[in-house]
Structure 1
Amino acid sequence: MELIGMLDSPYVRRAAISLRLLGIPFEHRSLSVFRNFDEFQQTNPLVKAPTLVLDDGTLLTESGLIIDWAECTSSKPALMPSDAAQRLRATRLTGIALAASEKSVQIVYEHKREEDKRDQGWLRRVQGQLHSAYDLLERELDGKDGWLFGDTPTQADISIAVAWGFTQIVAADVIDAKAYPNLVRFSQRAEQHPDFAALPPE
């Protein structure tokens, strides 16, 4: 099977790392939804990254749905805790991390506009939401030296580390790493894991 999309997308990278952790073999095809639009469209008319092309030709889009399919397919343990209380916390933290990714992407898209056409009020609101997401995650990681829920990464770990790395690439001027030492340490540890290191942002 084939995973299509650039690893500089937090959604593509999140899906790719999850597939590796779940032991689902795939080939990565690095196509941009901008630079390679026509080529991407030949595979998926929606031109949506990530796109997972299954062996039978079925197309799956949206990182969460790809991960859900992979967990149902894999013989390895799921990437969410089985304990109900821990699963609730992991779900909440994953949601915050995905919000951070979303707000970072919105900042990227707003800066694609000509400067005189940017909505500065909306941009300030998005930047505030991004700060709020990382403020919450920074507090959650206080005093945490390893993975959030045991000895192996969960979806919360993946989503937080991937979101942070993406934001530091595209919006480091908005989110000063010095103000978030817990996130910095957590993400540095995560990026040393073989399944993260094998899939660095492009």
Structure 2
Amino acid sequence: MILVGRYLSPFVRRTAITLELYGLPFEQRALSTMADMEQIKQLNPVGRVPVLILDDGSSLVDSATIIDYLDELAGPARALTPPSGPARRLVQGRVAVALGTMEKAVAYSYETKRRPAERQHQPWVDNLTSQVAGGLAALEAIEGTPWLAGAAMTQADVTTACLVQYMQSSLPDLLPPGSRPRLEALAARMAALPAFAKIAMPQP
């Protein structure tokens, strides 16, 4: 399998880490949505990454769709999202918060780092800042279990750690050191895993 996209994207990175955790071999094709848009659009008409090219030549797009397929390959005993019931809904709910926060954080990065200052829309920036803060606060408030969704590591932990590490590297103004101690501890714990170390967060 071939994973298209760069690990600067937390969506690509969470997909790559899931592949590593499942022991599924793949190669990375590090195309950029800025420099390589036309190549990416040949694989995904909306020009977004990640894209996973399967061994039969077909492609899957969007990290959620790809990871759902990887869960199927891993099997219910190993999948990081439970196959059914309340446990599945709990994990999916927490992944949804982390992904929503991730989307807003990436949008904030584009708005404040790539758009000229005179063209930035401050009410939009303020709204993104508020949405990111709300998502982080909700995840930070989770307590009472060793992991975000119970006694075992799940996709909620993988995705949230990718979010936190992305923000620590690229958006420290939205996540100052010490501001979210539980999330920072989770990110450090996950960083020690071989899969996270191998698929390291690049410097922006």
TM over 0.5: yes
Specify the alignment match of 2:78 in structure 1.
Answer: 77
- Counterparts of residues 2-151 of structure 1 (less than 5 Å): 2-41=2-41, 43-75=43-75, 77-82=78-83, 84-111=85-112, 112-140=114-142, 142=143, 145=146, 148-151=149-152
- Normalization by structure 2: what TM-score? 0.89
Give the distance between the partners of 1:94 and 1:106, measured in 2 at CA: 18
1:13 Cα deviation after fit: 0.7
Instruction: Give the secondary structure class of the aligned counterpart of 2:178.
Output: helix
Instruction: Give the secondary structure class of the aligned counterpart of 2:19.
Output: helix
Higher mean displacement: 47-56 or 171-180: 171-180
Deviations 1:135-162 (A, max 9, x none): 111111x4655564334x3110111100
Contact 2:71 2:81 in 1 (8 A): no
Contact 2:148 2:156 in 1 (8 A): no
- Normalization by structure 1: what TM-score? 0.90
Structure 2 unaligned blocks of 5 or more: none
Q: Which amino acid aligns with 2:141?
A: R
Identity over aligned residues, as a percent? 32
How many residues are matched?
200
Q: Which amino acid aligns with 2:137?
A: D
Larger RCO (CA under 8 A, 6+ residues apart): 1
Give the distance between the partners of 1:149 and 1:124, measured in 2 at CA: 34
Q: Which amino acid aligns with 1:120?
A: Q
Instruction: Give the secondary structure class of the aligned counterpart of 2:7.
Output: coil
Give the distance between the partners of 1:149 and 1:7, measured in 2 at CA: 28
Compared CA separation, residues 82 and 73, structure 1 to 2 (3 A)? closer
Q: Which amino acid aligns with 2:72?
A: C
Give the distance between the partners of 1:147 and 1:137, measured in 2 at CA: 8
